[in-house]
Amino acid sequence: MRDFNEELWKFMEMLDAGENFALNRFGDGELTAINRKDFDMVGVGKVNEFSYFKDSEKYNYSRNLLEDSFYNKQPNYFKGIPCHCCVLGNEALEIYNKLDKQDNWTWANIFVNGNYSDFKSYFPTTLENRNVIVVSHKKTKIDDLSFDVDAHITISSDAWVEDLEIIQEIIDTIEVYEWKDVVVLIAGGPFANIAVNELWKWNQNNTYLDIGSTLDPYLFGKPTRQYHAHNNPMGSKKCIWLDEVEEDE
């Protein structure tokens, strides 16, 4: 049986030990696009949201890159998927049944919900003595982050279609400064998925994390998700994996 909190500490210990890896996290929106179904969350009040319309050629190239990021099987490339208990209900079981059980799958929620308190407390210490690049929305500021940032690169909403050239900017930044063992933290919906995949294929001597909304209270100066709020029930939720679902049913 896989344990939600133990899985978090696996990644924290890898970071602490300087072991480089890539971690990509796929939500229901990203999986909807991969499955060629329409999805539109732009303009609903949250930044870093995105749209996908299967009949529009505008999205074809980005959707293919997103799909490639989901099926990458390189060593130390980890992929988070929605859990049965939070996002997709029984639809999550259909996802699990299609997976190669030997692949590097984990929770999409690995940094949030009941793991967020530990993540927030310990994550900054894992970045000590590492060069850090933060990639986030153009409306964000890094001044309140609890760790040092060596470069801040910004993207727009729908960046997975509009800002793919930013991936090369990340590469150029690392090369210009001749950094090694960099930690690249990317908050940007499916842009993060594509970027983490492309960066890992480019250079596996760094760590690339799809950091999602975990840093939003610092980047935006306010909570943006339920699990950010003090004493919200989501902050104590321990997510479950497929084996627990099978045992319960």
Number of CB atoms found within 10 A of residue 64's CB: 12
Residue 42 and residue 150 in contact, taking contact as beta carbons nearer than 8 Å: no
Instruction: Determine the pLDDT at residue 51.
Output: 85
Quick one: pLDDT at residue 83?
83
Please state whether beta strands 51-52 and 39-40 pair in parallel, antiparallel, or not at all (unpaired).
antiparallel
What is the model's pLDDT at position 243? Answer: 61
Q: What is the pTM of this model?
A: 0.92
118 within 8 A of 29, measured Cβ to Cβ: no
Taking 50 as the pLDDT cut, the residues of the chain under it are 247-249
pLDDT, residue 247, reads 43
Find the distance separating the first CA and the last CA of the chain, reported in whole Å.
15
Q: What is the pLDDT of residues 58-94, one digit of tens each?
A: 999 999 999 999 999 999 999 998 887 776 555 556 6
